[in-house]
């Protein structure tokens, strides 16, 4: 009976389902992030020991894991219903939300066939379970990386993301970014798998290697947390208006006046004489300022009145198209706005418009302003007397290279504005905010994340959350931050770990193939 039970547990289908379940669970409950060090082990075991059939079977194994994994993480899409502010309601809204949830899970899930197929292709020549496991890990990293490209770019999920509160364990991001953290976690999983594959005399070696790697990573993290490189002090106030999306976009003049009153009153209520900068979130000004200069004058007057510059999310026009920007108004001066470099698919532009607009006509209506936004091409570091300010907007925080580029161009602290009202109070609000922690560690910069609704927070140069305001709350954070000019290894070299890892694996696999052919 016991042997029969073990055989059932070892079935690939059971292992894949269990692995996917325990891997997506920490994305909803971050307190379970320790599961990440074990949860991918069953999937890796299947790739190494249960993956010798047809290529189609390997594809299905990878796809099954990936689909279940992403369905469990992306279930917060359901909180987007209803889409009244986008002109969709009732059945149409439900269909669009479910299509987004299941569609992106299918697309991203299919990418997880990369590791299973890679392992299947080389297992004829590679007899080492460890090397085969590292081929699988490389495939997983590639599958994640692909989500950053194409018009459907949505790199929301990274394996290490749920560990955003365990700052001592994620300082490696300052060296190799999230690729390094994901590879570290998967390597621990692989060593656990090898403990069940290798003979008894090697089990202790695998366990010792896992313990040593974990200890070294923890030691590095604890050391880095005790080293700071802060310079000039700066006091900021960031305001969270919690303006409902439908109310914001329902009537242009009324919505702008309402937002103006909400953000002005909250700012005045929380402002003190020693505040250096006021920050308002994405779309705090839901109107094109170039076409309505009267509002620019209003904000200039308010900045003069409070004698403090205001950095706000606003809309401008560029090349006769809408641009999502952050704009700094300092008294009567308006600095060159930062234009969002990575616009959001479906929210700010229609990807593959000629095809998708015909297949799914309702999708073309989701853009709030019924037209595509233009992409910016520059970091636009705002050079002020208080310091050099770098900017990212909304989903740009999930693209590490954008923050890195801003810091490389001279940003001494970073501002991330967003509008997560469409996420309400789902797990997606903290998943989105968690990326801020990793961008801070990667580049050793304070980040001020200002949300209309969602999570407003401030992180220090080591990714520690020093203050925060949760979803669906109206209020403000007053926080002292510090400028920094430290250059981390990641800021200097970027994402080179994956190419080096892939090149090394390729050479090792070629050597294995040559040896096998010589034997034959």
**At 453, which CATH number?**
3.60.110.10
Q: Which of 153, 222, 228, 217 is nearest to 185 (CA)?
A: 217
Do 214 and 243 have their domain in common? no
Taking CA 308 as the corner, what is the angle to CA 307 and CA 311, rounded to the nearest 5 degrees?
A: 150
Structure tokens given for 132: 């085969």
Beta strands in 356-483 (DSSP E): 382-384, 387-393, 413-418, 447-451, 456-459, 465-469, 475-482
Q: Which of 229, 211, 237 is nearest to 312 (CA)?
A: 237
**Is residue 367 in some structural domain?**
no
pLDDT cut 90: percent of the chain above it: 74
**Is residue 365 in some structural domain?**
no
Q: Which of 420, 415, 441, 442 is nearest to 431 (CA)?
A: 420
Do 329 and 455 have their domain in common? yes
Do 414 and 513 have their domain in common? no
Q: What is the mean pLDDT of the chain?
A: 91
**Is residue 398 in some structural domain?**
yes
β partners of residue 459: 447, 465
Mean pLDDT of 187-202: 94
Burial zone of 3 (CB within 10 Å; 0-12 exposed, 13-18 middle, 19+ buried): exposed
Do 166 and 290 have their domain in common? no
User: What's the chain's Rg over C-alpha atoms?
Assistant: 24
Do 91 and 182 have their domain in common? yes
Q: Which of 132, 221, 138, 129 is nearest to 173 (CA)?
A: 221
Mean pLDDT of 307-332: 91
Q: CA–CA distance from 469 to each of 94, 267, 345, 447 (Å)?
A: 30, 15, 27, 14
User: Would you state the pLDDT for residue 489?
Assistant: 98
Do 310 and 428 have their domain in common? yes
Give me the residue label for tokens 């970014």. Answer: 177
Mean pLDDT of 102-128: 94
Do 130 and 175 have their domain in common? yes
pLDDT in tens, 158-182: 999 999 999 999 999 999 999 999 9
Do 192 and 334 have their domain in common? no
**Is residue 348 in some structural domain?**
no
CA–CA dist 173, 182 (Å, integer): 10
Q: How confident is the model at residue 1 (pLDDT cuts 50, 70, 90)?
A: very low
Number of domains in the chain: 2
User: Would you state the pLDDT for residue 43?
Assistant: 97
The DSSP output letter for 54 is -
User: Would you state the pLDDT for residue 2?
Assistant: 40
pLDDT in tens, 248-297: 666 566 777 888 899 999 999 999 999 999 999 998 888 888 888 888 99
pLDDT in tens, 399-434: 999 999 999 999 999 999 999 988 999 999 999 999
**Is residue 363 in some structural domain?**
no
User: Would you state the pLDDT for residue 251?
Assistant: 59
Q: How confident is the model at residue 6 (pLDDT cuts 50, 70, 90)?
A: very low
CA–CA dist 261, 422 (Å, integer): 22
Do 154 and 21 have their domain in common? yes
Give me the residue label for tokens 């200069």. Answer: 293
Lowest mean pLDDT among 39-43, 112-116, 320-324, 406-410: 320-324
Q: How many CB atoms lie within 10 A of CB 486?
A: 16
323 close to 282: Cβ distance less than 8 angstroms:
no
Do 396 and 418 have their domain in common? yes
pTM of the complete model: 0.94
Do 198 and 330 have their domain in common? no
Do 217 and 291 have their domain in common? no
Q: How confident is the model at residue 88 (pLDDT cuts 50, 70, 90)?
A: confident
Q: Which residue has the higher pLDDT, 453 or 105?
A: 105
Write out the residue range of the structural domain in which residue 470 sits.
Answer: 233-341+376-485
CB-based contacts of 344, cutoff 8 Å, min separation 6:
394, 395
């Amino acid at each position: 009976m016991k042997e029969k039970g073990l055989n059932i547990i070892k079935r690939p289908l059971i292992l894949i389902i269990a692995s996917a379940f325990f891997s997506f669970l920490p994305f909803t409950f971050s307190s379970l992030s320790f599961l990440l060090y074990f949860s991918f082990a069953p999937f890796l075991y299947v790739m190494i020991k249960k993956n010798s059939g047809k290529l189609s079977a390997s594809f299905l194994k990878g796809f099954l894991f990936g689909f279940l994994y992403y369905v469990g993480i992306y279930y917060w899409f359901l909180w987007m219903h209803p889409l009244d502010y986008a002109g969709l309601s009732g059945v149409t809204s439900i269909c669009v939300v479910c299509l987004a949830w299941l569609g992106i899970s299918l697309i991203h899930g299919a990418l997880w066939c990369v590791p299973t197929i890679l392992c299947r292709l080389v297992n004829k020549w590679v007899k080492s379970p460890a090397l085969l496991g590292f081929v699988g890990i490389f495939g997983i990293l590639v599958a994640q990386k692909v989500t950053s490209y194409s018009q459907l770019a949505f790199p929301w999920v990274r394996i290490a993301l749920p560990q955003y509160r365990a700052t001592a364990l994620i300082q490696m991001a300052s060296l190799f970014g999230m690729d390094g953290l994901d590879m570290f976690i998967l390597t621990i999983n692989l060593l656990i798998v090898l403990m069940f594959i290798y003979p008894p005399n090697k089990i202790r070696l695998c366990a010792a290697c896992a313990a040593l790697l974990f200890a070294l990573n923890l030691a590095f993290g604890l050391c880095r947390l005790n080293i700071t490189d802060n310079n000039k002090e700066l006091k900021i106030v960031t305001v969270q208006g919690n303006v409902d999306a439908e109310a914001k976009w329902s009537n242009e003049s009324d919505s702008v006046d309402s937002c103006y009153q909400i953000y002005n009153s909250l700012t005045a209520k929380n402002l003190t004489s020693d505040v250096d900068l006021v920050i308002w979130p994405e779309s705090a000004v839901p109107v094109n300022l170039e076409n309505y200069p009267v509002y620019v004058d209003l904000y200039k007057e308010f900045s003069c009145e409070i004698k403090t510059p205001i950095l706000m999310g606003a809309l401008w026009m560029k090349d006769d198209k809408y641009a999502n920007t952050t704009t700094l108004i300092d008294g009567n001066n308006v600095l060159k706005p930062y234009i969002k470099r990575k616009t959001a698919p479906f929210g700010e532009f229609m990807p593959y418009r000629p095809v998708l607009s015909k297949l799914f006509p309702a999708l073309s209506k989701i853009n709030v302003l019924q037209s595509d936004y233009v992409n910016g091409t520059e970091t636009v570091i705002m050079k002020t007397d208080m310091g050099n300010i770098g900017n990212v907007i909304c989903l740009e925080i999930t693209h590490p290279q954008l923050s890195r580029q801003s810091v490389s161009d001279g940003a001494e602290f970073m501002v991330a504005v967003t509008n997560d009202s469409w996420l309400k109070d789902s797990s997606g609000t903290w998943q989105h905010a968690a990326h801020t922690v990793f961008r801070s560690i990667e580049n050793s910069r304070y980040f001020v994340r200002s949300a209309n609704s969602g999570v407003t927070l401030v992180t220090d140069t080591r990714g520690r959350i020093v203050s925060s305001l949760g979803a669906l709350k109206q209020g403000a954070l007053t926080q002292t931050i510090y400028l920094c000019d430290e250059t981390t290894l990641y800021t200097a070299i970027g994402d080179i770990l994956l190419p080096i890892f892939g090149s090394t694996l390729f050479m090792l696999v070629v050597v294995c193939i040559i040896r096998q052919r010589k034997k034959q």
